[in-house]
A = this chain, B = another copy of it.
């Protein structure tokens, strides 16, 4: 071992001890005949002292050390006269008597500090240096702790972690697969799993009873800030359970993590909201409940005032922003610009101010008198000083825009504190969603999700309104996890494939083994998968999951540090029976 102690463990009680430390030179300063060096490792920083009067040669050596040099030193622990109360080792320093340079270092392309001067691109290229920063490493330490606690909780509940294969078959239903050509089976491909869904269901058929896996999954999708081509799930499945059992078990896991990792006791049951209500009151299937501003539907209240924008709109709805009546023209214009951005696409924004003097003024005073406005305001229970913001247009689109406006107002009002956590179960999702473009139903969750038993009779007659035994855990507007009770009956599964437009042959070819398995005694089962990256990001207060992934890829799916993907040798292509044919 190159050290007897780490840079994080020495305390005043150790004064007088001889120690050997190893680590990186964080910074160095000369003061008179003394040289002070902050020596860093993962565990902390310890101050080293070199004294010109005691050992001039050693001090000269120390003066030549550059930032990020790797050194090993020995010396005596001493009490510092000038204590640093901000760090745990701040009461001591080492009077160095031996210095050994283990490795030199070029000057890093950016400073290794919490507030670095490095931009995104350079930090990704030199990710191994970026990972030296405390703030980045802390995210990965958090991630480690969360997986340890997750496994501990699930293990105690008799869940078995079972590894499912990474090289599986491709299924066109769902997102795009990454595929892997098979050399031993020419012309055939494996696919990387988007989730271990089928395998965990087979494990239930096998009687494994309770399964989990912290597992990499893959999706070849165009990337966004919170998407990576490879991501990690806490994937779980249970047998002989109803929806209530699954919700309780995984609400328990979330509470366990909040308690052990964040020190937050969540004693109340998580609120539950139907998908229908989530859309109606928040315009989203993952509402951020850290703050109110529930939507109020206004169509009936505003119709018939000769204001064609409202009269012709499928939907009119608004929110009430507390204390914002004093917003300036500039602020209101900003909000109007915000909702008119192409990503949001509203045509305009209408406001009603509840002025301090008791008057009520709006941007549609031409069509609504003060009495009308007061009636509208009453629906929001608006008080003096509040600002009502109204959007109108096609229903789903306008709700979505209003959702964005609500989140924006929450942000502006400081109501989205990252240290506050508002959990929620969204339940009763629709089983299907209609795709206008291809004119067929798609499974909202996946094709293995069970309809609610009481809705099964609607499968043919009112397909779009069949509700699923499906649920999402949402915290602070982030969908942390989701799952469902599965179909365990091969007849019902066949029906489901039929409704999704599979021919019997295609269903058999792709999922025959699952329907076969269901004929040999499948138990009722259900489960859930959490997105680990999102869970860690939530706990760490990150804006992007990238910051809790050691070696993430950029928006083109590239690892710029190792420069992957890359060209491969012709001999590899030949062995795989492949020709590259790039269309211009």
Contact = CB atoms under 8 A, between A and B. Distances in A.
Contacts of A69: 521
Given A106-B519, A187-B580, A578-B580, A179 B568 contact: yes
Given A42-B208, A103-B489, A199 B550 contact: yes
Contacts of A286: none
A243 to B, nearest CB: 11
A164 interface: yes
Contact of A549 (B3, B158, B163): B163
B240 A3 contact: yes
- Chain A binding surface, main DSSP class: loop
A181 B184 contact: no
A533 to B, nearest CB: 10
Interface in A495-528: 513, 517-524
A415 interface: no
A523 B70 contact: yes
Copies, count: 2
Interface in A148-174: 148, 151, 155, 158, 160-170, 172
A245 interface: yes
Interface in A22-66: 22-24, 40-43
17 contacts: A1-B240, A2-B242, A6-B209, A103-B488, A103-B523, A128-B205, A137-B208, A140-B160, A144-B161, A166-B166, A166-B216, A168-B564, A170-B568, A180-B565, A186-B582, A187-B567, A578-B578
Given A140-B208, A170-B568, 17 more contacts: A1-B241, A41-B209, A103-B488, A105-B521, A127-B202, A128-B206, A148-B151, A163-B232, A167-B557, A167-B559, A169-B562, A176-B575, A184-B220, A185-B558, A191-B564, A199-B550, A216-B216
Q: Which 6 A-B pairs have the closest CB atoms?
A: A169-B564, A105-B521, A131-B206, A2-B240, A188-B565, A68-B521
Interface of A: 1-3, 6, 22-24, 40-43, 68-70, 72, 102-106, 108, 126-129, 131-132, 137, 140-141, 143-144, 147-148, 151, 155, 158, 160-170, 172, 176-192, 198-199, 202-203, 205-209, 216, 218, 220, 222, 229-230, 232, 240-242, 245, 488-489, 513, 517-524, 549-551, 553, 556-559, 561-569, 572, 575-583
